[in-house]
Amino acid sequence: MKLGLNFLSEDEKQRIHKDSIKILSEVGVKFMSDKALKVLADNGAKVDKDSRVALIPEEMVTQALSTAPNAFVLGARNPEFDFQMPSSYTGYTLDGAATFAIDFETGERRNALTSDMIASLKIFEELPLGTVVWPNVHCDDMDQGNYNEVRPSFVSLINSSKHIQNELHRPEEVPFMIEGLSAILGSEDAVKERKIFSVCYCTIPPLTHDGEMCDTYLELAKFHVPILPYPMPAAGSTGPASLYSDIAVANAESLSALVLFQMAVPGTPIIYGHAAGITNFRLGTFIEGAPETTLINGALGEMAHFYNLPNTQGGCLSDAKVAGPQAIMEKALGTLPLVLSGVDVINGIGEVDASQLLILEQIIVDNEIALMCKRIKDGINVSDAKDYYNDVAQVGAGGHFLMQPSTMKECRSDEFFQPELCDRNTFEQWAELGNPNIYGKAREKVKEILAGPQKNPLPDDVIGKLEEIQRKADEALSH
């Protein structure tokens, strides 16, 4: 049977839901968008135009839950990578928006570049559990005076054939994004049908929605683009100083986004997500790799199940400043509970230092952590096919099973996980190999992948169309 884990009891889920409803209906949520306030007011919310706070009644939440799709497919440019949500297994995204990267050649910590993103995408294309691409760095070489989110989105679409997920920040970016997706897929109808692009929607904790991003996503919803609400309250600063109340606030923020987009465009695909954390009470900074972060996001993943919605949760995270034992420890302990609880997608692969530092080798290390967690989740197969009583009878007491045909078969099956990075040699063999370590092996794997050709490239004429659309976007969106 497959292993499972529960963060919350059914009574506790009900209590969190009721407290979230109380927050929505009595405290309210601030929307900096006039369009959003009108949508909410027209559908039953009590709106204070001066404070921009909307009080959202339970009936609106119930209505939104009734129209939000319980299942849909995140399409990919290569249909082999289409991802059904909810999923029978946990997939992963690249972590997102790091400011810095470790230079793969020199080992120095420097500002992240477009070349770092492209290298990451090439590696991620090889990962069996890699499901959703986030543009994982904020590229320092993209002209800051002429920056727009169409750029990293197009770079991702050109260099990966998996599902792409990014943020858009301005309504003016939407036509260029849709034009680019149409150039790849052939039509706007195909954009709506295939859903190869989705967006992350970060609310502003506590209980606030950005105006421009809100307006942007109200436009995107018309094209059936899946939306991932992604609240990130930190217990003790932007969230209450208890795990329970931080969960209730994060849940209320997600519900407020769900309500808005379902009222505006019923049936908008929603991925119920969170990346909440805790506060470093000594420094006031955001902590991702703490056990409490896993407890909060694991509980919120269960709230997604409570609402029967697909979900993405922050996990596989670390506050380590360099690759090494702390990163592996925090990432492994933060990943396994989420996998066991049945989270659809975990966001966090490839970065450390609270998602501010990209390390290419870490992508490979995190992949091995993910594969190990999957093997534990898959549990023990107790079917008749695994009943080897006849072997036991044949070998008998004091015998040996190594040369049994069943052993030869099973040692190459998925019954036993075979790591690529973890060393299982004897000490003498390990020493003879030159004392290899996990990150050294990961580095060799990165070299191998980067030296190979790009998988599933776009046709040159489509790339040309995207480059032309990007030029138009740069000119129209320049500050």
All structural domains of the chain with their residue ranges: 10-64, 67-378
pLDDT tens string, the chain, 479 residues long: the values are 789 999 999 999 999 999 999 999 999 999 999 999 999 999 999 999 999 999 999 999 999 999 999 999 999 999 999 999 999 999 999 998 899 999 999 999 999 999 999 999 999 999 999 999 999 999 999 876 678 999 999 999 999 999 999 999 999 999 999 999 999 999 999 999 999 999 999 999 999 999 999 999 999 999 999 999 999 999 999 999 999 999 999 999 999 999 999 999 999 999 999 999 999 999 999 999 999 999 999 999 999 999 999 999 999 999 999 999 999 999 999 999 999 999 999 999 999 999 999 999 999 999 999 999 999 999 999 999 999 999 999 999 999 999 999 999 999 899 999 999 999 999 999 999 999 999 999 999 999 999 999 999 999 999 999 999 999 999 999 86
d(CA 289, CA 25): 33
Q: Are 67 and 269 in contact (CB under 8 A)?
A: no
Secondary structure of the chain in HEC code, one letter for each residue: CCCCCCCCCHHHHHHHHHHHHHHHHHHCEEECCHHHHHHHHHCCCEEECCCCEEECCHHHHHHHHHHCCCCEEECCCCHHHCEEECCCCCEEEECCCECEEECCCCCCEEECCHHHHHHHHHHHCCCCCEEEECCCECCCCCCHHHCCCHHHHHHHHHHCCCEEEECCCCCCHHHHHHHHHHHHHCCHHHHHHHCCEEEEECCECCCEECHHHHHHHHHHHHHCCCEEECCCCEECCCECCCHHHHHHHHHHHHHHHHHHHHHHCCCCCECEEECCEEECCCCCCEECCCHHHHHHHHHHHHHHHHCCCCEEEECCCCCCCCCCHHHHHHHHHHHHHHHHHCCCEEEEECEECCCCEECHHHHHHHHHHHHHHHHHHHCCCCCHHHCCHHHHHHHCCCCCCCCCHHHHHHCCCCCCCCCCCCCCCCHHHHHHCCCCCHHHHHHHHHHHHHHCCCCCCCCHHHHHHHHHHHHHHHHHHCC
pTM of the model: 0.96
Question: Under CATH, what is the fold of the domain 67-378?
Answer: TIM Barrel (3.20.20)
| Nearest-angstrom CA–CA distance, 476 and 266 | 31
